[in-house]
């Protein structure tokens, strides 16, 4: 089973350059979490699943902690998901930086981090 949260938007201050950390930017986060249910999903019990509202909260908290690299942000989100949901098999987090400072008009840059490595092909 895969629970996904896509298109979560955050204004944050991640960036390698000091001006990025001062001015901030918009980021979009996509999360996919795969697991094998250990109980009957027909029981309609959220405790038998991954709560996508909690995935949003995890991303929100990590986005508040300024980092130089969006790779580091994505890994921190994965680490916290693993901490809160020890039963997950695979996690993929994509962080997009909108309008990055690259000297040209660019819609976004992105990084995708997976647990375990190369786990989900999305």
- Count of the separate structural domains present in the chain: 1
The encoded tokens of residue 36 equal 């094998």
What is the distance between the terminal CA atoms of the chain, rounded to a whole angstrom?
A: 14
In a domain, 122, yes or no: no
In a domain, 108, yes or no: yes
Quote the CA–CA distance of 112 and 122 in Å, as a whole number.
10
In a domain, 120, yes or no: no
pLDDT of residue 41: 80
Q: Given the structure tokens 């190369």, which residue do they identify?
A: 118
**Cis previous bond, 116, omega within 30:** yes
DSSP string, 51-72: -HHHHHHHHHHHHTS--S-HHH
Which SS3 state, helix, strand or coil, does residue 17 take? coil
pLDDT of residue 63: 98
Q: Which domain holds residue 41?
A: 2-115
Give me the tens of pLDDT residue by residue for the chain, a chain 122 residues long.
999 999 999 999 999 999 999 999 999 999 999 999 888 888 888 888 999 999 999 999 999 999 999 999 999 999 999 999 999 999 999 999 998 877 788 899 999 999 997 655 54
Q: Which CATH number goes with the domain that contains 21? A: 3.30.1130.10
In a domain, 121, yes or no: no
In a domain, 13, yes or no: yes
pLDDT of residue 121: 55
Quote the CA–CA distance of 115 and 96 in Å, as a whole number.
18
Quote the CA–CA distance of 21 and 77 in Å, as a whole number.
19
pLDDT of residue 101: 77
pLDDT of residue 103: 75
Instruction: List pLDDT tens digits, range 86-98.
Output: 999 999 999 999 9
Total-model pTM = 0.91
């Amino acid at each position: 089973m895969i629970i996904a949260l896509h298109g979560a938007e955050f204004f944050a201050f991640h960036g390698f350059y000091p001006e990025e950390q001062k001015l901030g930017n918009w980021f979009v986060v996509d999360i996919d979490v795969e697991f094998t249910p250990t109980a009957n999903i027909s029981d309609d019990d959220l405790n038998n699943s991954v709560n996508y509202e909690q995935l949003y909260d995890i991303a929100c908290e990590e986005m508040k902690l300024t980092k130089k690299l969006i790779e580091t942000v994505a890994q921190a989100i994965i680490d916290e998901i693993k901490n809160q949901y020890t039963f997950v098999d695979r996690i993929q987090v994509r962080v997009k930086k909108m309008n990055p400072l690259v000297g040209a008009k660019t819609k976004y840059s992105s990084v995708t981090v997976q647990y375990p490595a190369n786990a989900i092909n999305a």
